[in-house]
Chains A and B, each alone.
Chain A
Amino acid sequence: MKDSMKPLSRLETSSIPCTLNGQEISLNVPPAKRLLHILRDDLEMTGTKRSCDIGRCGACMVMVDGVPVNSCLTMAYQCSGKSITTIEGVSAGGMDPIQRAFLEEGGFQCGYCTPGMIISVKALLDHNPDPTPPEIEEALSGNICRCTGYGGIKRAVQKAIEWRREAYESESVHD
């Protein structure tokens, strides 16, 4: 059997190389283990939340290579060679303007959906700094918030767009 066909298995405890919040790590876990549980139980990073377990709520959202995925649907082997960013990584270098916008506009209440929501907003604005309302709607349609009715979230996204634009413009001036 070719090397490429060697199974990654629990018994062989393969290590899966990936980057987590900028740090290169290897995951020594069963290959079908879900990223959600790797983060929360093995790495004790509980900013990523568990809620529905089937990708229908967005509480467990992380970015893999810059795009949002539900960590409850992502198996360890699918992270091999990928770069994972969790909510902890978003604020590693100080609070992101998106996070400040959520604070300022009251884009959260109980806060349980908030890390996943912020991940989705960040993934959106990193790709599309000036999204239209339908684009915002589409990008956030996989994140359920039960508290706010999305009013504060929509205002926070608008504020974040504004702040990021201002930051970009002031950077451009200094260049």
Chain B
Amino acid sequence: MAANAQGVAEAPFVWHPATAAEAWQLKQTLGTEGVYTAGGTLLRTQWEAGLAAMPNHLINVGEIEELHGIHIDCESGTGTLGAMITLSDLRTSPLVHASFPLLTEAARSIAAPSIRNLATIGGNVLSLVGDSLPALLIYDPVLHWHDGSNGLQESLSEWLSTAAVHAAWRERLLIAIELTQPALDSNTKRFVAYHKVGRRDAFTPSVVTAALSVQLDSDNRLSDVRLALGGGQTIPHRLELVEQFLTGKIANKKTITEVYALVVEHYEPKGDAFVPVSYRKKAAANLIASELWKAVR
């Protein structure tokens, strides 16, 4: 019988609800004694590091049918990802790659394949700082929750903006994430990019994660601009101010130079003991500026 680093016996009860309603009911009953668990990779790391105590009850949501599955309608450009979809599923799904290519790229950059075989998109989202988030934010994401009644839908952006301070969502069960591909106007092309910069070339915590999607006409005039940034303990978010600035502008040296300055000025990442804020701002601005340059090259 083994213990974790804190010597807590690994003997929580493990519940295996078959439906979201059962899971939610269990969570209501168990309160803080019970924790939803999917892949369990992040929870385990927190338990071992002593950042969280191992709970008395685990509510395994892995057997709930409705949390599984990737449903993508290529024609309408919409899709839903079940919260239990593993990051490996995301990495290897041709459907995902065809409709939401930034997610494929994001999945490639998260942890290592062995962890991605356990870890889920739901867990990555609910961590608040997962590297899938900047990519998801490009696709008008909507979270589908089970909340004990008729279900609740909420935009990912909205949820992220308050999730760190409002804890009510912790009672709810994330079912799926709904995505919509940006539509493409006639005579335009779309340019997308995803970057994760870490402290190492692979299997690294993120320092700066950037995702970008822009539409360009033949004059390189920009429209439908979507930029998302995150990394480290910074909760990922869209850069609306910069998006508005770019919309309708022609991507040229002047515009790109101004965008760089805007990102440095307005992006407010969290620093840590390893990488200061100043680097995160500059690297984020560099990535966005260079991708805009690539878009019009």
A142 / chain B contacts, CB cutoff of 8 Å: 111-115, 203
**Given the interface contacts A33-B1, A34-B2, A37-B2, does A73 sit within 8 Å of B113 by beta carbon?**
no
Q: Which of B60-74 contact A (CB under 8 A)?
A: 60, 62-63
CB contact list, A3-17 vs B, under 8 A: 4-10
Query: Among B14, B112, B118, which residue has the most Cβ atoms of chain A within 10 A?
Result: B112
Encoded as 1 (CB less than 8 Å from any A CB) or 0, chain B from 188 to 220 comes to 000000000000001100000000000000000
Name B202's closest neighbour in chain A (CB-CB). A141
Which stretch of B42-50, B154-162, B287-295 is in the interface? B42-50
Complex contact A34–B10 (CB within 8 A): yes
- Closest CB in chain A relative to B2 CB, distance in Å: 4
Q: A12's closest neighbor in chain B, by CB?
A: B13
Surface stretch bound by A, among B15-23, B253-261, B264-272: B15-23
Task: Given A10-B11, A33-B2, decide whether A68 and B22 contact each other with a Cβ distance below 8 A.
Answer: no
Q: How far is the CA of A75 from the CA of B2 in the complex (A)?
A: 12
Contact status B18-A4, CB under 8 Å? yes
Q: Chain B: how many interface residues by the 8 Å CB criterion?
A: 40
Q: B-side interface residues toward A, CB under 8 Å?
A: 1-2, 4-5, 9-18, 22, 26, 39-41, 44-45, 48-49, 54, 57-58, 60, 62-63, 88, 108, 111-115, 117-118, 202-203
- 26 inter-chain pairs at a CB distance below 8 angstroms, sorted by A residue, are A5-B22, A7-B15, A10-B9, A32-B58, A37-B2, A41-B2, A53-B4, A55-B112, A55-B115, A56-B203, A64-B117, A67-B113, A68-B113, A68-B114, A69-B114, A72-B44, A73-B39, A73-B40, A73-B115, A75-B14, A78-B40, A78-B62, A141-B203, A142-B111, A142-B112, A142-B113
Q: A8-B13, A10-B9, A142-B113 are in contact. List 15 more A-B contacts (CB 8 A).
A: A4-B63, A7-B13, A37-B10, A53-B4, A54-B48, A64-B117, A67-B114, A67-B117, A68-B117, A72-B44, A73-B115, A75-B14, A120-B113, A141-B202, A142-B111
